[in-house]
Amino acid sequence: MIQVIDFHKAYGETVAVAGLSFAVGPGQILGLLGHNGAGKTTTMRAISGIIPATSGRLIVAGHDVAADPVAAKRELAYVPDDPKLFDTLTIWEHLEFIAAAYRVTDYRPVGERLLEQFELTSKRDTLAQELSRGMRQKVAICCAYLHDPKAILFDEPLTGLDPRGIRTMKESVIRSAANGKAVVVSSHLLSLVEDLCTHLLILNHGVSLFCGKAQDARGAFDNLDGDASLEEVFFRATETVK
C-alpha cells in the first residue's frame, strides 16, 4: 500500500534521508522511530506529497506520488504533529470541507460517527480557534478518517490527548489496520509503538538501522534477549552507530 524506494532528500548540503527503502502492506502498522532529526517527519511529508523527493520513488496504493499526485493523495491521510486547522471554521465545517475536497458525497453519517467516537459531538458548532490542543488533534484525526483512505500517516498522534482520547486513538488505529489499511505511526512514545505496531523502522540520520517485524527487532542486535523492551532495542540500535 505504501512503497518507498531508494528515497533521498537533501536540503542544500544537508542530507535528511539517504537511500531509504521500505514498504507497508494492508493491515500492517509501522512504527517509525528515531531521534530528533532522524528523518521521520521528512519521510512522512514526502510520502504525503508535501515536499518533493530529491531522488527515489514514493508510491501510495499503486500511484506514484510525483507522477500522479492527486490520485496518490486521494488514497492517503496525513496527521502532522501540529495540525493546522482553519480558525474560523467549526468542527463540522472542517468535515464538510474535507468531504468537498475528497468528493465524499455520503459523509454525514460517517462524520457523525467520528464526532461521537472522539467525543466531539457537543462541540460540533465550535470554532477551531476556541478548541483546546487536544480537541484540535481530535478534529484532525476525524478529518483524516472521513474519506476512508487506504494509507494513514500519524506524526506524534497522541499530542494533547487526554487518557480517554489516547485509548480511542489507539483503538481506531488497530481497527483501521484490521480493515486492511496501511498505517504509519511516528512517535517518541516507545510504549505506544510497542503496543500498536506490527513492524518497525528505526532511523538514524536518514539511514535505516532496522526495518522488519517488531518481533524480530530483538534478535537483530547483539546481546539482547527475547525479553528485551523496545526501549532497549531502540537505544542499542541508535547508540551502536554514534
DSSP bridge pairs for 64:
59
Distance CA 95, CA 162 (A): 22
Range of the domain at 69: 2-240
pLDDT at 234 exceeding the cut of 90: no
Task: State the pLDDT confidence band at 242, using cuts at 50, 70 and 90.
Answer: low
Contact 118, 140 (CB under 8 A): no
Q: What is the pLDDT of residue 220?
A: 76
Mean per-residue pLDDT for 140-163? Answer: 95
CATH number at residue 31: 3.40.50.300
- pTM for the model stands at 0.92
Distance CA 65, CA 56 (A): 11
Which residues neighbour 197 within 8 Å (Cβ) at sequence distance 6 or greater?
Answer: 29, 30, 31, 185, 214
In the chain, the number of structural domains is 1
- Phi and psi at 51, nearest 5°, equal -125, 145
Helix (H, G, I), strand (E, B) or coil at 175: helix
Percent of the chain with pLDDT over 90: 84
By the 10 Å C-beta count (0-12 exposed, 13-18 middle, 19+ buried), 64 is classed as middle
Side-by-side strand order, sheet with 199-204: 76-79, 151-155, 182-186, 29-33, 199-204, 207-213
Q: pLDDT, tens digit, for every residue of 174-186? A: 999 999 999 999 9
How many CA atoms, within 13 angstroms, populate the side-chain half-sphere of residue 185? Answer: 30
Helix (H, G, I), strand (E, B) or coil at 8: strand
Q: pLDDT, tens digit, for every residue of 47-70? A: 999 999 999 999 999 999 999 999
Q: What is the pLDDT of residue 215?
A: 84
Q: pLDDT, tens digit, for every residue of 79-137? A: 998 899 999 999 999 999 999 999 999 999 999 999 999 999 999 999 999 999 999 99
Distance CA 123, CA 94 (A): 12
More confident residue, 93 or 233: 93
CB count in 10 Å sphere of residue 129: 11
